[in-house]
Homo-oligomer: A and B are copies of this chain.
Amino acid sequence: MGVNSNRVEDFSSHETSIRIPSTNTISPPMEIHSVCLPPKKTTLQKLKHRLSEIFFPDDPLYRFKNQQWCKKLILALQFLFPILQWGPDYNLKLFRELAMQSLQIYHQFFVPPLIYSILGSSRHLGVGPVSIASLVMGSMLGEAVSYSQDPILYLELAFTATFFAGLFQASLGLLRLGFIIDFLSKATLVGFMAGAAVIVSLQQLKGLLGIVHFTSKMQFIPVMSSVFNQRDEWSWKTVVMGFSFLVFLLTTRQISMRKPKLFWVSAAAPLTSVILSTLIVFCLKSKAHGISIIGHLPKGLNPPSSNMLSFNGPFLAVAIKTGLVTGILSLTEGIAVGRTFAALKNYQVDGNKEMMAIGFMNIAGSCTSCYVTTGSFSRSAVNYNAGAQSAVSNVVMALAVLVTLLFLMPLFYYTPNVILAAIIITAVIGLIDYQAAFRLWKVDKLDFLACSCSFFGVLFISVPLGLAIAVGVSVFKILLHVTRPNTVALGNIPGTHIYQSLNRYREALRVSSFLILAVESPIYFANSTYLQERILRWIREEEEWIEANNESTLKCIILDMTAVTAIDTSGIDMVCELRKILEKQSLQLVLANPVGSVTEKLHQSKVLESFGLNGLYLTVGEAVADISALWKAQP
């Protein structure tokens, strides 16, 4: 075993020449390690292992191991209802959140947010109906039934569709298909967030300018044309009030950002604005009739509607289809929003749990007169902005909101809508993360492309299509990397067994008569043609170089397979074919360090046998040493 060291030292003594005359120096036989197959497993065992890695990578049941049954029960309850885990520590926070949500969703649904608070794993997600799902549901149901002609049937269909949407979402979660959301990358989310923030801000121009007839669309062009086409509806009183409070809110935000100690300034600003503006409108009642106000807030829970779900009749297919489409749309948006805010606060959102929470929320919603609800960007932004402060402000806020809810509710009658618009704009503007976009540009151009696609897609096309394009770009990037992988020529670093890129390490030296190539990707159908061509081109170029420099002829090609983490049948055929092609050119092909699964597949397909004893080595170093020794022995 000590033999290794001689060889290493010999290597280093030839630093002056570019090539190491291997046949002279690597003479003593070194210990050669054989390449092992991974431990034998049946197809069923392999399948089981693979499936558990795919669906249960987090080993969700590990907490239950070696526990008493009562502890197990508590853990199971905590697992099913995340609220039990963090609820006890966050009583006030929880309360505040519920209160905030109740306030924000004033004429809206009460049951879904409640369900979400108990089941959901995101702590900032504000749930409610969102415009995309609403639009899609409206148009899909409208094609089948007219609301004006048969309102009851229409409502029945809406609730039934909501039920199916929830069922679909919950089953995705139950089937542990949460990894689907992994395809929403941070780059995509930065773009999505900025695009949504711009669109939501622009939509608030309705309230800010006092426009009455406004588009319900969510794209840049219809919103802007709506703003400018309705110039006669602009109300100067609303504009003055809106922009004054907007300036006030933005100023307080700047103050808090510059001096973190003054965080309470921006935290208290929204409530101050609401109270102040309500007082102004109340005092100037007679003179402020141009300013639209919230008016009566209906109280009480949603009426039950489970009797309105109908699972037969000619419209069932329409209801199921609408449910599926709105279900997947709202799920995508909800989880994107949830992940966005989770990334900001550095916690993980469990995709599977999230899908189940949103799903059960909608099933429950369909029984309490709600249509499809999901995580909403603007609601979450307000939540986040209000909740991103320390515990002190949480207590203050929660108490304030509680008092408001219990005693001051009638006073909101006079709160002008323009204030809500100003608060929302202030909340979402902070979410345009141009610094992150700049960093993407600097580090990874394709990530920046995905980011831009989702930004412009959301802005000009629609939220789901923008997201789909961005996911497409991201997947394309993966496929591009697989389709056109890197191949690197390696050289020996003198004095070591290390073989590294000749291009990257200046001290690395070519080994004469060898061409050592590292393939930096799995070998798949999608790249086997390319790789074969590319390797043959390497050899051609190497031989041209040898001819030009009068070096000793090429005899052996070593493929360093360390980074070839998988191979399929096309890849195996490629390796086999490459060996035959090289054999015809009197060149030997050697594989070094194939990983477990690759070795196994090469073995199963009988390709390893054709390589023989001198075709497979554990490391590049051992291959070079052994083959050189062999050449010396048989000149």
Binding site for B on A (CB under 8 A): 1-2, 4-5, 8-9, 12, 31, 33, 36-39, 43, 47, 53-54, 57-59, 62, 179, 182-188, 346, 348, 439-440, 442-447, 474-475, 477-486, 488, 493, 495-498, 500-501, 503-506, 520-522, 524-527, 529-530, 533-534, 537, 540, 562-563, 565-566, 568-570, 572-573, 577, 595-597, 601, 604-605, 618-619
A577 to B495, alpha carbons, bound, how many Å? 36
Contact of A182 among B348, B496, B530 (CB under 8 A): B530
**Residues of chain B contacted by A498 (CB below 8 angstroms):** 33, 618-619
The 4 closest A-B pairs by CB, nearest first: A5-B5, A185-B525, A520-B565, A1-B495
A2 to B619, alpha carbons, bound, how many Å? 21
Cross-chain contact A444 with B569 (CB below 8 angstroms) = yes
Cross-chain contact B475 with A505 (CB below 8 angstroms) = no
Contact of A526 among B4, B182, B565, B619 (CB under 8 A): B182
Cross-chain contact B562 with A443 (CB below 8 angstroms) = no
Known: A443-B569, A497-B497. 18 other contacts (CB 8 A): A31-B495, A36-B506, A37-B504, A39-B503, A54-B484, A57-B537, A185-B569, A186-B573, A439-B605, A440-B569, A447-B568, A447-B570, A477-B568, A478-B482, A478-B524, A486-B597, A498-B619, A501-B595
**Residues of chain B contacted by A59 (CB below 8 angstroms):** 537
Cross-chain contact A526 with B183 (CB below 8 angstroms) = yes
Given contacts A39-B503, A568-B185, contact A534 B57 (CB under 8 A): yes
A179 to B476, alpha carbons, bound, how many Å? 13
**Residues of chain B contacted by A534 (CB below 8 angstroms):** 57
**Residues of chain B contacted by A2 (CB below 8 angstroms):** 5, 8-9
Cross-chain contact B496 with A604 (CB below 8 angstroms) = no
Cross-chain contact A36 with B187 (CB below 8 angstroms) = no
8 contacts between A and B (CB under 8 A): A36-B504, A185-B569, A187-B569, A443-B601, A443-B604, A447-B568, A520-B565, A563-B595
A62 to B536, alpha carbons, bound, how many Å? 13
**Residues of chain B contacted by A495 (CB below 8 angstroms):** 1, 4, 31
A537 to B493, alpha carbons, bound, how many Å? 36
**Residues of chain B contacted by A185 (CB below 8 angstroms):** 524-526, 568-570
Cross-chain contact A445 with B618 (CB below 8 angstroms) = no
Cross-chain contact A504 with B596 (CB below 8 angstroms) = yes
Contact of A186 among B348, B504, B525 (CB under 8 A): B525
Please name the residue on chain B nearest to A190 by beta carbon. Answer: B569
CB distance from A540 to the nearest CB of B (A): 8
**Residues of chain B contacted by A444 (CB below 8 angstroms):** 568-569, 601
CB distance from A504 to the nearest CB of B (A): 5
CB distance from A43 to the nearest CB of B (A): 7
**Residues of chain B contacted by A446 (CB below 8 angstroms):** 568
Cross-chain contact A183 with B525 (CB below 8 angstroms) = yes
Cross-chain contact B565 with A521 (CB below 8 angstroms) = yes
A488 to B597, alpha carbons, bound, how many Å? 12
Please name the residue on chain B nearest to A597 by beta carbon. Answer: B486
Cross-chain contact A568 with B187 (CB below 8 angstroms) = yes
Cross-chain contact A182 with B563 (CB below 8 angstroms) = no
A445 to B529, alpha carbons, bound, how many Å? 22
CB distance from A561 to the nearest CB of B (A): 10
Cross-chain contact A530 with B57 (CB below 8 angstroms) = yes
Cross-chain contact A475 with B481 (CB below 8 angstroms) = no
Cross-chain contact A525 with B4 (CB below 8 angstroms) = no
**Residues of chain B contacted by A442 (CB below 8 angstroms):** 604-605
Contact of A485 among B47, B346, B565 (CB under 8 A): B565
**Residues of chain B contacted by A505 (CB below 8 angstroms):** 36
Contact of A483 among B179, B440, B493, B573 (CB under 8 A): B179
Interface centre among A9, A38, A57, A568 (most CB of B within 10 A): A568
Cross-chain contact B496 with A33 (CB below 8 angstroms) = yes
**Residues of chain B contacted by A483 (CB below 8 angstroms):** 54, 179, 182
CB distance from A80 to the nearest CB of B (A): 20
**Residues of chain B contacted by A447 (CB below 8 angstroms):** 568-570
Please name the residue on chain B nearest to A446 by beta carbon. Answer: B568
CB distance from A157 to the nearest CB of B (A): 31
**Residues of chain B contacted by A568 (CB below 8 angstroms):** 185, 187, 444, 446-447, 477
CB distance from A13 to the nearest CB of B (A): 10
Please name the residue on chain B nearest to A532 by beta carbon. Answer: B348
**Residues of chain B contacted by A47 (CB below 8 angstroms):** 445
A76 to B144, alpha carbons, bound, how many Å? 62
Please name the residue on chain B nearest to A595 by beta carbon. Answer: B520
**Residues of chain B contacted by A474 (CB below 8 angstroms):** 525-526
A59 to B522, alpha carbons, bound, how many Å? 23
CB distance from A58 to the nearest CB of B (A): 5
CB distance from A121 to the nearest CB of B (A): 13
CB distance from A575 to the nearest CB of B (A): 12
Please name the residue on chain B nearest to A495 by beta carbon. Answer: B1
Given contacts A439-B605, A496-B4, A601-B444, contact A346 B565 (CB under 8 A): no
CB distance from A626 to the nearest CB of B (A): 14
CB distance from A189 to the nearest CB of B (A): 9
Please name the residue on chain B nearest to A501 by beta carbon. Answer: B596
